[in-house]
Structure 1
Amino acid sequence: MGRLGQDQATRPGADERGGRCGRGADPDDAAAATAAARDLLARAGGVLFDFDGPICRLFPGDSSLPVADELRELVTRCGCANLLTGRLRTDKDPHLVLRAVRRAAGPRPTADPHLRGLLGKLEERVAAGEVAAARVAWPTPDADALIRSLAGRRLRLAVVTNNSPRAADAYLREHGLRGHFHTVHGRTPDPDLMKPHPDVVHRALTSLRLRPQDAVMIGDTSADVEAAGRAGVPFIGYGRNELKRARLREAGATVVLGAYASLLDVAGERGAHDAAVHFAGEAARR
């Protein structure tokens, strides 16, 4: 599989990549969203990050199309081309093909060895494509700074993604961020447990030993909104352009940001507050 991402799409401009202010954004709405997000983070014990979008752009443009095409070719070679109906024949999202084969397997996918084997092969191909894409993924502006700031506050961080956990792990290691995350949770062999199912959120909460109300999830899709809601986790939406922000609001997200820059000092303020409290306590004991 060739290099994905950089070789398959033209790098976007600052506005498309989630620049510091979106064109047409209402400053009052942006200020209110920033204040709400800062309040959620100030009270949180941990943050759950979706991967593709909030941390990086794994498949910018149509760069996931070669992976989806590989899956369609494999499905066809296995004699299951009839499963590829409608948009499944052309869509760039390989996860749609995974879900279609899983649905065809019925409630007990292990009962059909042919489909079970096909699902395993598809998962291998998708994971390989995602790991390759992670090597050239575009960092989300200010995501690395936000991650380091939150980790500096000693918040427990986790990744909750529909992508392969190997891809997320590879990206975080490449960018020197893996040490800030307590755990990385991603897609399991059962595509039915992908978001909007809350399974990955529940797994992260268990790993971090957090109650839902003590965490915050940052995501960029309606599936993220639903998964967080079903798990009872407060949610911050990140949309790099107005269309994505509108879709998040339509899905029910009430706190939606177009950039992380306005959040970068929230960790410093909390850290300074904690240090002041610690100093006052030490002085009182003297």
Structure 2
Amino acid sequence: MKLDPQTALAGKSLLLLDFDGPVCSVFAGYPAPQIAAELVVELRTFAPQLADTLGSERDPMEVLRAAAGSLSRAEVERVDEQLTQAELAAVESAEPTAGMADLIATARRVGLAVAVVSNNSAGPIAKYLKRHGLDGDIGAVIGRPFGRPERMKPDPYLLHEALSAIKVGASDAVFIGDSLTDVEAGTSAGVMTVGFANKPGKALRLREAGAEVVVDSF
């Protein structure tokens, strides 16, 4: 089902967007499993026991979470810095999600503010938005706090930060995300959440997680 902007945005004053998925495919040209493997290689230089447990991990965010659960703050920041540098490289070849630029333009035209809330780092997000001419339409970019992966979604922290930055109440916002952690974070924050089923089999899982609306295109 294609998103109907009139229905999704009606009565709202803020559109919140996850980055990887709804806005673009961040790792289209620099695959996430490759980045995860590179993080594990780096971990072997100072945390070999942890690295041994992550040899098959394909999600770089999960590598970062694992580091936070076992290592010192300085070591977690070391992993986060490497991931941020990888994200900066990845956005060079990220593929825009069809229809999202038009949705952002529509939201702005009818008076909504737009913010990005993402487990990706804010710097790479800002780089992508500028590269694609979207930075002027985005009122806030809330990325993962450096060295604090416990504040990534599904924790609602990022959404609360965006609501505070734009000075909008949760009931006046709508959030579009493509993962179960997005839906959990949106629900916890009290924000209407739209699930983006951009891969086969996702729609049912997003509905079961609590997404109020599920779409497969914009």
- Shorter-chain TM band: over 0.9
Per-residue CA deviations over 1:161-190 (Å, capped at 9, x if unaligned) read 000111111111000001001110001120
Note the C-alpha offset of 1:85. Answer: 5.3
Determine which structure has more spread, i.e. the larger CA radius of gyration.
Answer: 1
Asked if 2 retains the 8 angstrom alpha-carbon contact of 1:201 and 1:227, the reply is yes
Q: Which amino acid aligns with 1:82?
A: Q
Gaps of 5+ in 2: none
**TM-score calculated relative to the size of structure 2:** 0.94
Once the two structures are superposed, residues 107-130 of structure 1 have per-residue CA deviations (whole angstroms, 9 ceiling, x without a partner) of xxxxxxxx2221111111100111
Output aligned runs, 1:14-25, within 5 Å.
Answer: none
SS in 2 for 1:242: coil
Shift of residue 38, structure 1, vs aligned partner: 3.7
Contact 2:15-2:112 within 8 A present in 1 as well: yes
The answer (yes or no) to whether the contact 1:58–1:138 under 8 Å persists in 2 is yes
| Aligned-residue offset at 1:222 | 0.3
Match of 1:81 among 42, 48, 52: 48
Deviation at 1:61, TM superposition (A): 8.1
1:215-248 Cα deviation digits (max 9, x unpaired): 0000000000000010000011111233122221
Contact preservation (8 Å) 1:75, 1:118? no
Q: How many Å separate the matches in 1 of 2:6 and 2:68?
A: 39
Q: Contact 1:48 / 1:159 at 8 angstroms: preserved in 2?
A: yes
Which residue pairs with 2:152 in the alignment? Answer: 194
**1:149: how far off?**
1.2
How far apart, in 2, do the equivalents of 1:131 and 1:247 lie? 30
Q: Which moved more, 1:234-243 or 1:183-192?
A: 234-243
Give the alignment's TM-score, normalised by structure 1: 0.72
Please state whether the residue corresponding to 1:53 is helix, strand or coil.
Answer: coil
- Report how many residues are paired: 217
Amino acid of the structure 2 residue aligned with 1:149: T
CA distance in 2, matches of 1:214, 1:236: 14
1:132 maps to 2:89 = yes
1:230 aligns with 2:196: no
Which residue does the alignment assign to 1:93? 59
The CA distance in 2 between the partners of 1:151 and 1:217, in whole Å, is 15
CA contact (8 A) 2:29 2:94 kept: no
Q: Which residue of 2 aligns with 1:64?
A: 32
Alignment partners' CA distance in 2, 1:92 and 1:38: 38
Identity of counterpart residues, as a percentage? 37
Q: Distance in 2 between matches of 1:62 and 1:175?
A: 18
Check conservation: 2:67, 2:79, Cα contact below 8 A. no
CA distance in structure 2 between the partners assigned to 1:91 and 1:222 by the alignment: 18
Give the conservation status (yes or no) of the 8 Å contact 1:62–1:92.
Answer: no
Return structure 1 stretches of 4+ with deviation > 4 angstroms: none
Match for residue 108 of structure 1? none
**1:56–1:137 contact (8 Å) kept in structure 2:** yes
CA distance in 1: counterparts of 2:168 and 2:73, whole angstroms: 35
Partner residue of 1:39?
7
What SS does the aligned partner of 1:89 have? coil
Q: For residues 114 and 30 of structure 2, what CA distance do their matches in structure 1 show?
A: 30
